[in-house]
Amino acid sequence: MALRNIRIDGDPLLRKRSKEIETIDTRLKILLDDMLETMYDAEGVGLAAPQVGILKRAVVVDIGDGPMKLINPVIKNSSGESFMAEGCLSIPDYSGVVCRPEKLSLEYLDIDGNKKYLEAAGFLARAICHEVDHLEGILFKDKVIPEEQLPKEYLEQERKRERRA
């Protein structure tokens, strides 16, 4: 395995749409392993192939429950709303609140090419949405909600969290 260079915001490649993967070969397997290693090294919870310069629909995620490799991920259904601050390995030292679905269902191929179905909620759903956006050339900063537009419930919850910290 090897570390790959993470592309930083401003790189035009981050704004391109990634292509569907048609064959799962050794090269792709190496890419996914490298992506995981790169993500752990950078202390991230997700990484999409375009972030390492490869315009293919592959992402890795690990929110602390173990590594996931998702090939051609497609969000099928989503419901609910969740507000939380996000960051991105391609946008260092920046964070902002993004609204994401509370729950979603996802179809993808695993590393052996099997079609899989996944239900995700909360932080995992958020991480998946963030990575799938990368495959469309969308960065989370495009979706950041200005503080004055945040729902009262979110601000109240944040105030409580700050008091506890």
| Known active-site residue 43 | no
Q: How far is the CB of 101 from Zn ion (least distance, A)?
A: 17
Helix H, strand E, coil C: the string for the chain is: CCCCCCCCCCCHHHHCCCECCCCCCHHHHHHHHHHHHHHHHCCCCEEEHHHHCCCECEEEECCCCCCEEEEEEEEEEEECCEEEEEEECCEEEEEEEEEECCEEEEEEECCCCCEEEEEEEHHHHHHHHHHHHHHCCCCHHHHCCCHHHCCHHHHHHHHHHHHHC
Q: How far is the CB of 134 from Zn ion (least distance, A)?
A: 6
Name the residue nearer to Zn ion (CB basis): 141 or 155: 141
- Which residue in the set 6, 68, 70, 88 belongs to the binding site for Zn ion (CB under 5 A)? 88
Contact pattern for Zn ion over residues 44 through 83, marking x by CB under 5 A: ----------------------------------------
> Using CB atoms, what's the residue nearest to Zn ion?
88
Catalytic (active-site) positions: 131
Given the rule CB under 5 A, which residues bind Zn ion? Answer: 88
